[in-house]
Amino acid sequence: MSVLVGKKAPSFKAEAVINGGEIVDNFSLDQYIGKNPVVLFFYPKDFTFVCPSELHAFQAKLGEFEERGVKVIAASTDTPESHWGWLQVPKDQGGIQGITYPIIADTSKTISEAYGVLAGEYDYDVEGNMIATGPMIAYRGLFLIDKEGTVMHQLVNNFPLGRNVDEALRMVDALQFFEENGEVCPANWKKGEEGMKDTFEGVADYLSKH
């Protein structure tokens, strides 16, 4: 499992489903460089159970991400046709109808591997045949990428553990607070609270007030 924080987000081009049903080729995060921060999150599989709860949770908060200028992008190792089919199924039937942000189809599994969230790897048996040693689907990875394309926050959950979308928003707020004010964000910081200067004096001053 690689740690990408502080590094450039791996570049890629892949098919994706956008606007709730349009399949496009060569979707890339490069289009947002210099323009928008990105929250890129991976999920294991279409037509499963925890996954739609997460996708709908991000959709419910999409306006709040957009107010902050942040693009939300999902990805799994399913095909674009699978994404499209799942998007046709109503929410009350376990589908993701109503999701409008892009969903990347990492069918080659190279994107999940580049981001360090692929569960399993390729190997060879004694006869030289390529085999998969694992389910070869993505863990629940989440990456906050700044406007310059640098990974600023990384979270990876195992399959049974759904993520907290409010925490993803909090991390966006923390990043933007730091970028705008040059102050760092202490434990449990929330938007609207004060930060602290990244010095011994700044820490001491903050702790004396809390």
Catalytic residue among 16, 40, 51, 175: 51
* Amino acid sitting at position 7: K
Secondary structure in 3-state letters for 124-193: ECCCCCEEECCCCEECEEEEEECCCCEEEEEEEECCCCCCCHHHHHHHHHHHHHHHHHCCECCCCCCCCC
d(CA 175, CA 157): 21
Angle between the N-to-C axes of helices 50-60 and 165-181, in degrees from 0 to 180, rounded to the nearest 10: 40
Residues 6+ apart with CB under 8 A from 38: 9, 29, 32, 70, 71, 72, 73, 143, 144, 145
d(CA 192, CA 179): 15
| The pairing of beta strand 151-157 with beta strand 71-76 | unpaired
- The token pair at 163 is 């993520």
185 belongs to the catalytic site: no
In this structure, what are the phi and psi dihedrals at residue 200, rounded to the nearest 5 degrees?
-60, -40
Residues designated as active site: 51
